Amino acid sequence: MTEPKDSSFAVQRRSGNIDATLYWSLTSGITGPGPAAGQDMLSVPSAESDREAIAAAAAMLRSGGTVAFPTETVYGLGADARNTPAVEAVFAAKGRPSDNPLIVHIARREELEGLVLEVAPVASALMDAFWPGPLTLVLPVRPGVLSPLVTAGLDTVGVRMPDHPVALALLRAAECPVAAPSANRSGRPSPTLAAHVMEDLAGYIGGVLDGGAAGVGLESTVVQVQPDGTVAVLRPGGITAEQLAAVAGTGAVAPAPALALADAAAGYSGGQSPALPPQVSGGGTGGAAAQAAEGSSLAPRAPGMKYTHYAPRGALGIVRGSSPQRVAETAASLLQAAQREGGITGLLLFEEHRALYPADPAACVVSLGSLASPEEAARSLYAALRRFDEAGATYILAEACPVTGLGAAIMNRLMKAAGEAVIDAG
């Protein structure tokens, strides 16, 4: 895929032996409560081999290495957030643009005091409600504590406490704040399995802790509490706007910008080739909207705000319409046209709509499950996008879904993957 043009970091190349990346497969679950009810809960590996693996991974982090590890959202690629060479290695391994800030992961809430200047009352209430969990809060960073690469030179930092026993055990053992973006090559679909990490980063990073499949499947929600106490959603994710409003108050949550499909790219134009939706280009480079964003000089406050992300290698377009029938008819027609022109086609649909398509509408058809169960779609989205790569798909269409609840995060990721390329079926 095309590397980001404005990254200030040379992309590291694989060593001759991909086994240079250590791989630890955890053999048991993580158990435990902590020393007493209501106190800090400790996650303790139940097998000696797992304790040794986590200890080795923690030692690698402390020594300036990079380690991929599971969280409840996706796998993260961690480094000591205070160590600039270690953080630079994360950017280099991913091919990540240097103005894209990183989220810092902590295991104990009291660690915040050493990282940020203050926590607003609303932010504290959100932590009470959703930590540990898939919520990142952008807070005023304490000067001189973290590597400036973590914050991309901003005066804020995103912090979260993951709700995953392996992640918490690793963070506690490492005894340092860990900066961790998703453990994939920049722009690629995020990893929900250790196998996805190895596919993208074996030979680029120090080690991988395999703790099984991620549960949520989409990255954390990123929010920033404004001076007036309102909550700005910078990136939708596993915590929905509705859940945030239940804590912050009705009307106190501002949704992420450009979520509505009406604000996305214009619909399909009959003057374009039917085998290529407007504003779609292959290789995950994104469309006109994404390219315009990449040319912007504004630094994003949170990951996922500026660059095209999550993209399969083939061209991807999102089909919307007034009814599922119109969407299916338009998608089927475009897929057939692409097949006639020699394309390898892919279709991402919801199970309720499968019967609306002709038999074998694409070379690779992947279902995100039922619209009534957006959690299933969230868990399977990134793996689905990677399946199209495995099938060699060059032209992919995806059905839109409602942008309520978790659907907002699903559509956000699809829009980013497609470079905001939307086909209007009418």
CA proximity to 149, closest of 94, 201, 100: 100
DSSP E strands in 217-310: the ranges are 221-225, 231-235, 253-254
The answer to whether the CB of 418 falls within 8 A of the CB of 397 is no
Residues 230 and 252: their CA atoms lie apart, in Å, by 5
| Count of other CB atoms within 10 angstroms of residue 333 | 13
What is the helix (H) or strand (E) element at residue 315, kind and residue range? strand 315-320
* Residue 282: per-residue pLDDT: 35
* Residue 201: per-residue pLDDT: 95
Give me 151's structure tokens: 């914050």
Helix/strand/coil percent split, the chain, to 5: 30, 20, 50
Walk along the chain (426 residues) and give the pLDDT tens digit of each residue: 333 333 333 344 444 455 689 999 998 655 443 333 333 444 566 788 999 999 999 999 999 999 999 999 999 999 999 999 999 999 999 998 888 899 999 999 999 999 999 999 999 999 999 999 999 999 999 999 999 999 999 999 999 999 999 999 999 999 999 999 999 998 899 999 999 999 999 999 999 999 999 999 999 999 999 999 999 999 999 999 999 999 999 889 988 764 444 343 333 333 333 334 433 333 333 333 333 333 333 455 555 555 556 889 999 999 999 999 999 999 999 999 999 999 999 999 999 999 999 999 999 999 999 999 999 999 999 999 999 999 999 999 999 999 999 999 999 999 999 999 999 999
Residues 204 and 375: their CA atoms lie apart, in Å, by 32
The answer to whether the CB of 115 falls within 8 A of the CB of 145 is yes
* Residue 29: per-residue pLDDT: 54
CA angle 353, 359, 363 (to 5 degrees): 95
* Residue 187: per-residue pLDDT: 86
Give me 48's structure tokens: 């000696």
Laid out side by side, the sheet with 345-349 consists of: 364-367, 345-349, 395-399, 315-320, 422-424
* Residue 100: per-residue pLDDT: 87
* Residue 99: per-residue pLDDT: 83
* Residue 300: per-residue pLDDT: 54
